[in-house]
Structure 1
């Protein structure tokens, strides 16, 4: 049913739930697993990120830690990647590149405020991707 699964994570509680779901699905279907962590340049401002190398390195280091943990727990072949940009755009582009049969992500990320049922990234991914999407 699923040969290729893409999981997007930012290390938030919701993304961790989505990661667990993606790991279970990948194991069940013996699917290839791709994991992506996006440094949200829209959130922090492109100028801040390009001028402050330390800020970029810190955000990317967090991404490496999150992805290394995810790949280490996978019981199937797993590939990970860190990107910079608008998360929904990068998730969509990556899904196209790997021809994902399924995209899995948290229903809200680190930027989700109290009372947010669905975050803006999850909403955009669900609304605009032409692939099945599961949010957790």
Structure 2
């Protein structure tokens, strides 16, 4: 059923919970696990801050997050492909899913509600609405 599973990560606890589910599913189905971290350069265009130094630091953290997932997946005996790219997260995730024949996307959700959700939006929600494949969302608290 699933040959290629994508798990986007930002290194957060919520993403780590999604990674657990993605690894479990990849084990069950013998799927390749694709681990993607998207660095959004528009988030670091604050006046007075050198965006290149901030981007370098964020990309380093993203690479470390992806490497941790890769180590866990390889320890479980999975095939793993990793990618760290710059872009708009929701669009980059859906494009990656299409371009790499992904069968399932597994993502964490921060569970924002009310005004926070309205003002901040949600990468996960945008992916759910626009992806051409199923998206499994995982809450941190599992409640």
Global fold match (TM > 0.5): yes
What is the RMSD computed on CA atoms of the aligned residues? 2.7
Cα shift readout 1:19-67 (whole Å, capped 9, x = no counterpart)? 1110111111110110100002232239989x53221110010011101
Distance 1:105 1:48 in 2: 33
Question: Secondary structure of 1:103's partner?
Answer: strand
TM-score, normalised relative to structure 1: 0.86
Alpha carbons 2:17, 2:108 under 8 Å: kept: yes
Question: Tell me, which stretches of 5 or more residues in structure 2 are unaligned?
Answer: 139-143
Report the alpha carbon displacement of residue 119 of structure 1 after superposing the two structures with TM: 5.5
Alpha carbons 1:7, 1:22 under 8 Å: kept: yes
Question: What is the match of residue 62 of structure 1?
Answer: 61
Q: Whose Rg is larger? A: 2
Alpha carbons 2:45, 2:51 under 8 Å: kept: no
Question: What is the match of residue 33 of structure 1?
Answer: 33
Question: Tell me, which stretches of 5 or more residues in structure 1 are unaligned?
Answer: none
Alpha carbons 1:15, 1:108 under 8 Å: kept: no
Question: What is the match of residue 102 of structure 1?
Answer: 104
Q: How many aligned residue pairs are there?
A: 133
Distance 2:47 2:101 in 1: 32
Question: What is the match of residue 130 of structure 1?
Answer: 132
Question: What is the match of residue 22 of structure 1?
Answer: 22
Distance 1:91 1:16 in 2: 17
TM-score, normalised relative to structure 2: 0.82
